[in-house]
Amino acid sequence: MVESEPESRKQPAPRRPKLWELEEKHHCPVIGSCLTLDELKKIARKCSFNGSFDGNRFDPYRLHVEAVSLSCSRNDAAEAMHKLLERKYAIVIARFERVKSDADVLALWKQHLERGEVADAMWAALTHKAASRDTRNQVYGDVHMHSHHIGAGQAADLRRMEWLQREQTGLGAENARLAEELRQQSLQTDSAKRDLARANEQVAHLEPLLNRVRELESGQAMTAIGRRLLLAEAQASRAREAEARIETLEQKVAVLRGDKACLGREMEETAAERDALERLWLEEASSRAPGAATCSGECDTCSTRLQGRCVLCVGGRTPLLPHYRQLAERLGVRLIHHDGGKEETLSRLPDLLNASDAVICPTDCVSHLAYWQLKKHCKQTGKPCVLFKRASISGFTVALAQLASGRVSLSGETIKAPGHG
């Protein structure tokens, strides 16, 4: 009879995975959602991140990217982040430890997600010893879509403006059609009024005719008069119906004219706000450039530095691309674009970098790989590079002004769009 294996040779009990043992794709949402910027700064100072800060001035995006990179393997920084996450979310971790099956872990995560408790529940679910790979991927997908829902509102304003433009065009055509219909109805009304006037004249003579009919003994005369009376009444009825319809149409036209006026004011206000914002950033960027008050258009700091140059924009929001191109055309700049790895392959990026004279990049809408690739290229080639933190029209405007000023670091610098903190 075969003896049973000793207890020491049994499979070890499952344990909660460490931060560096998670899948690589999970590190970005964990670092970005579960740790605050101040907590990352403390760990960076303690573990001496390279390139994440200059003195005490931290670049939040670069700090996040480097922290994600370090968390993928076991090191002092990864261990410090893991210990902090364990202490910070100890209560929620204990709550998740009470469930023992993969299905219960997923159900408990869904409960926290519905209440908006994302960060602590995400860490507890991803590191639960009973969580399967499918459950971790479900948690990752829920957090990913949650972040998309937050940014969806920014696109709603652009769709609203496009809808108002289409609505204005449709109302203009409808207004023209109604105006023509009103003109035709007016002609018909004039004709009906003339018929009604003639009918009223005929009705005025009916009473003496009736008196005459009573005196007549001929039935044919009575019949003829009856036919004329019915005809006059029918004409009067048609005239009244025409007048009622005209009144209804006039009311509809008044309502449509009011709607058109409101839409026109909204469109003018929207265009005025956009033009004022663009003009404000251009004036502000120009006022900060040396010699802006006395520039004759021939110095190194005015916008003619970019005249005829090719500027590559990496990343950004696709709906704003036409506005980017419009601003670039005003300065005589040829703008080329790469979406930073969202849909376009990164293999095209080196050719675009080589073909450009300068690079600008909104750091909130670009992949990690594209960001480091363009930074490395600009540093090696000495090509001007401006990084700005908001993929907005104002940020793009200030970025072009920075390039035009000629005072841009070879490896790029991050700027803030005014009015966005």
pLDDT score at 94: 92
Cβ neighbourhood burial of 79 (10 Å; 0-12, 13-18, 19+): middle
How does residue 115 score in pLDDT terms, banded at 50, 70 and 90? confident
From the options 3.30.70, 1.10.3470, 2.40.128, 1.10.287, give the CATH code of 160-286. Answer: 1.10.287
Which architecture does CATH list for 303-415?
A: 3-Layer(aba) Sandwich (3.40)
**CA triple 224-229-230, angle to 5 deg:** 100
Q: CA–CA separation, 198 vs 192, rounded Å?
A: 10
How does residue 121 score in pLDDT terms, banded at 50, 70 and 90? confident
pLDDT score at 297: 43
Helix 368-381 vs helix 60-70: angle between axes, to the nearest 10 degrees?
110
How does residue 286 score in pLDDT terms, banded at 50, 70 and 90? low
pLDDT at 417 over 50: no
Between residues 218 and 165, the one the model is more confident about:
165
Q: CA–CA separation, 340 vs 389, rounded Å?
A: 14
In angstroms, what CA-CA distances link 241 with 187, 193, 245, 329?
A: 15, 11, 6, 59
Give residue-wise pLDDT tens across range 293-327.
444 444 444 445 778 899 999 988 888 889 889 88
Q: Residues 6 or more apart from 116 whose CB is under 8 A from it?
A: none
User: Is 135:106 a contact under the CB 8 Å cutoff?
Assistant: yes
Give residue-wise pLDDT tens across range 370-413.
999 999 999 999 999 999 888 888 888 888 888 887 766 544 55
User: Is 352:383 a contact under the CB 8 Å cutoff?
Assistant: no
User: Is 131:125 a contact under the CB 8 Å cutoff?
Assistant: yes
pLDDT at 345 over 70: yes
Q: Residues 6 or more apart from 140 whose CB is under 8 A from it?
A: 25, 26, 29, 126
Alpha carbon 218 to its chain's center: 86
Following CA atoms 68, 320, 357, 291 in sequence, which dihedral angle do they give, to the nearest 10 degrees?
-100
Q: CA–CA separation, 341 vs 363, rounded Å?
A: 13
Fold match between domain 160-286 and domain 303-415: no
Long-range contacts of 237-246 (CB under 8 A, 24+ apart): 238/192, 238/195, 239/192, 239/193, 239/195, 239/196, 239/199, 242/185, 242/188, 242/189, 242/192, 243/189, 243/192, 245/185, 246/182, 246/185, 246/186, 246/189
In angstroms, what CA-CA distances link 261 with 48, 139, 163, 238, 410?
A: 62, 49, 16, 35, 51
Mean pLDDT of the chain: 79
pTM value is: 0.36
pLDDT score at 420: 37
Give residue-wise pLDDT tens across range 49-82.
755 455 566 788 888 888 899 889 999 988 999 9
In angstroms, what CA-CA distances link 218 with 121, 191, 206, 207, 286?
A: 104, 35, 17, 18, 102
In angstroms, what CA-CA distances link 36 with 64, 85, 417?
A: 10, 11, 23
Q: Return the domain boundaries, the chain.
A: 14-149, 160-286, 303-415
Task: Supply φ then ψ for residue 54, to 5 degrees.
Answer: -120, 100
Look up residue 315 and give its DSSP letter: S
pLDDT score at 135: 87
Task: Supply φ then ψ for residue 155, to 5 degrees.
Answer: -80, -20
First-last CA distance in the chain: 77
Q: CA–CA separation, 318 vs 158, rounded Å?
A: 11
pLDDT at 270 over 60: no
pLDDT at 159 over 60: no
pLDDT score at 83: 93
pLDDT score at 386: 92
Task: Supply φ then ψ for residue 360, to 5 degrees.
Answer: -130, 150
Among 126-140, 173-187, 229-243, 269-283, which stretch is predicted with the lowest mean pLDDT? 269-283
In angstroms, what CA-CA distances link 334 with 27, 349, 359?
A: 38, 17, 12
Of the chain, the percentage scoring pLDDT greater than 70 comes to: 72
pLDDT at 281 over 80: no
Q: Is the dihedral of CA 213, 214, 220, 222 positive or negative?
A: positive
Between residues 311 and 124, the one the model is more confident about:
311
Cβ neighbourhood burial of 383 (10 Å; 0-12, 13-18, 19+): buried
